Amino acid sequence: MFELIVNSPPKFPDAERHGIVVSDELVDLIKGLLAKNPEYRLGAGGVDEITSHPWFADVDKEALMKKEIEMPWKPTLSEDYEELSGFDPDA
């Protein structure tokens, strides 16, 4: 797994095969954030590189910073937090 993370480019689902559509803008954003060389990684020149990416074009950044935007999806957690069972509780 480590070798794949370090040496392989990120892979994205095929829309027809997996039924998941990932926009070109999102693919570009993820590839930029995961660039292997930190000098070329999106955000290396500051947070404005990230927030000015086309994928965020429709986001009202002022409202976001003021926490005025409703979350499009909010996870529900059970009382025993079963959804977090795959995570190390000590991490």
**Averaged pLDDT, 19-45:** 95
pLDDT digits (tens, 9 = 90+) for 44-66: 999 999 999 999 999 999 998 89
CATH number of domain containing 55 = 1.10.510.10
Q: Does 19 map to a domain?
A: yes
pLDDT of residue 81: 58
**Averaged pLDDT, 3-29:** 92
Q: Does 90 map to a domain?
A: no
Residue 74 vs residue 31, higher pLDDT: 31
- Tally the domains of the chain: 1
For the chain, the C-alpha Rg in angstroms (whole number) is 17
Q: Does 10 map to a domain?
A: yes
Q: Does 60 map to a domain?
A: yes
Q: How confident is the model at residue 5 (pLDDT cuts 50, 70, 90)?
A: confident
Q: Does 51 map to a domain?
A: yes
Structural domain including 74 reads: 2-84
Is the Cβ–Cβ distance between 86 and 59 less than 8 Å?
no
- The DSSP secondary structure of 28-80, one letter per residue, reads HHHHHHT-SSTTTSTTTT-HHHHHTSGGGTT--HHHHHTT-SPPS------TT
Q: Does 89 map to a domain?
A: no
Give me the percent of the chain exceeding a pLDDT of 90. Answer: 64
